[in-house]
Amino acid sequence: MTSSTTVLVTCPPMLGMIDEFRAIFSDAGVELVAPEVVQVMTEDELCDLLPEMDGWIIGDDPATARVLRAGKEGRLRACVKWGVGVDNVNFKTARALGLKITNTPGVFGKEVADVATNYVSGLARQTFLIDREIRTNMAWPKPSGISLAGKLVALVGLGDIGRETARRLAAADMKIIAYDPFADTPEDVPLERATWPQRISEADFVVFTCPLTDDTRHMFNVDLLPELKPGIRLVNVSRGPVIDERALATGLETGIVHSAALDVFEVEPLPAASPLRKFDNCIFGSHNGSNTRDAVARVSEKAIALLFDFLEI
């Protein structure tokens, strides 16, 4: 393969450590294109760039049929979706166009589970709210929290992230009802199984670790609110559209939902006009649950290797 081979990287965590990977590209004679990306590139930006690329390491960008066709009409031959979630990538179109494509499954279970567990604890004891009040309002708050031991978690998703989250929550002596029609029950974690939304009225926490599909989109919605235990706490480290944010805002406004910790949102970054911003007892993340230096290095090297194999480098 000649030095004219060019690869585009648009994944923000990988871009944040891109200097650590430059030698891999240069040693292989590959030109690296690494633009500044806060969250995603737009379809128009990608349609302009991709025709000049041979390969693409995709973040959460809109890898739509339009974008992929634009790339295929140029030089694009192969793509790797960095990370686990693939709801932003039109794999069907990619394969129909003859593009080689894959993702990197099963790579972030422990890292994202760490964040999910941190969010559960943070909502239970309101540690983030305490920190915020001390810093911004010179206050010294002492809110009464709730203990984790004995509380029931409705865990939605038993994939890699869900299993690792279950292990951590079980270690805190929490009870778990798991919802996943496809995954097997892990033998090393004590939990019960149910079909969503059965037994949701018993839950003190709901934790979403599931992929975004037609079945999971807006599975938390306004129709669910009357079924919930008043004061329930909600965590989402999966995909934003799993939750109907208007329904969540209603739940928070009425007090049915005590608080929520969200690493992901329906629109990212979170819009300035989002009604969720007014709820001070919530925790907001920046879709950053997988982003540790260790994990980014490991997954980036895997993504590069997969792409180079596709490109026969």
Token output for 244: 């109907």
Catalytic residue chosen out of the listed positions 31, 268, 298, 301: 268
Residue 7 Cα distances to 10, 34, 66, 291, angstroms: 10, 9, 19, 22
Q: Is 133 designated active site?
A: no
Residue 54 three-state SS: coil
Q: Which amino acid is it at 153?
A: V
Q: For residue 33, how many other CB atoms are within 10 A of its CB?
A: 14
Q: Is 258 designated active site?
A: no
Q: Is 239 designated active site?
A: yes
Q: What residues are paired with 63 via a beta bridge?
A: 89
Cβ neighbours of residue 121 under 8 Å, at least 6 residues apart? Answer: 127, 148, 172
Residue 270 phi/psi, 5-degree rounding, is: -60, 125
Containing 24, the helix (H) or strand (E) segment is: helix 22-27
Cα–Cα distance, 56 to 76 (Å, whole number): 8
Evaluate whether 240 touches 264 at the Cβ level (below 8 Å).
yes
Q: Which residue has the tokens 């991709």?
A: 50
Catalytic residue chosen out of the listed positions 167, 233, 239, 258: 239
Cα–Cα distance, 31 to 277 (Å, whole number): 42
Question: How does 77-107 read in b/e, with b if 16+ C-beta sit within 10 Å?
Answer: bbbbbbbbbbebbbbebbeebebbbbbbeeb
Active site residues: 239, 268, 287
